[in-house]
Chain A
Amino acid sequence: QVSLQESGPGLVKPSETLSLTCTVSGVSINGYYWNWVRQPPGKGPEWIGYVYDSGTTKFNPALKSRVTASVDTSKNQFSLNLNSVTAADTAVYYCARWGKLGGNAINAYDLWGQGTMVFVSS
């Protein structure tokens, strides 16, 4: 059973750093692009960025100055840090896998975590 599970604090204070981890089960983290996507209440999804098994990252330009991501292949986990948070960062945060078919990218997310709600409030 392949699954993703997000973990981290559900409440972060303004100006502090939001830190989340995604644990990948049932499949190796190697060979895939692992993404973070968030969704503010009542709005559409917003791509945050991705990390590859090599540690290569790419981020949404709107968030790039505040985001870092990393991967721990020994634990089959990857992580997100978003600093200097404000109320606008309140959202459900998802981790998701950029899918492949026959070794080729399908340019879509084929596997998602259940999501974790993060509130930014003092």
Chain B
Amino acid sequence: EIVLTQSPDTLSLSPGERATLSCRASQSVRSDYLTWYQQKPGQAPRLLMYGTSNRATGIPDKFGGSGSVTDFTLTISRLEPEDFAVYYCQYYDRSLVTFGGGTKVEIK
């Protein structure tokens, strides 16, 4: 079973700053099966990136995804007030789905 470890747990940044979130897999994984979601309080997760680096419909290009093998990164180039939220990575493997523990991006 693949385990996803996200870091840091919390990222304290100011609007306009760049955010770099990490998702590490416990073993080598396929990059086309790695996904990122954004979740705000009281809402369902929202699809941001699929296949590591493909933005979902309506997602602005300030969001970027990269990585391979075991290390994956979600980058938010310039934080805006609506970007402060919790971000989860997710992996699909042999019909099983696992989520990381999440990174909270909070206003500093």
Instruction: Give the interface of A toward B (CB within 8 A).
Output: 35, 37, 44-47, 58, 60-61, 94, 96, 99, 106-110, 112-115
Contact = CB atoms under 8 A, between A and B. Distances in A.
Interface residues on B, range: 20 to 34
B73 interface: no
Interface string B35-48: 10100000111110
B96 A47 contact: yes
B88 interface: yes
Interface of A, secondary structure class, is: strand
A45 B99 contact: yes
Contacts of B97: 35, 37, 47, 60
Contacts of A108: 35, 47, 50-51, 56, 90, 92
B85 to A, nearest CB: 13
Interface of B: 32-33, 35, 37, 43-47, 50-51, 54, 56-57, 88, 90, 92, 95-102
Contact of A109 (B32, B43, B47, B51): B47
B47 A46 contact: no
25 contacts: A37-B97, A44-B88, A44-B99, A44-B101, A45-B45, A45-B88, A45-B99, A47-B96, A47-B97, A47-B98, A47-B99, A58-B96, A61-B96, A94-B44, A107-B33, A107-B50, A108-B35, A108-B50, A109-B45, A109-B47, A109-B90, A110-B50, A110-B57, A114-B44, A115-B44
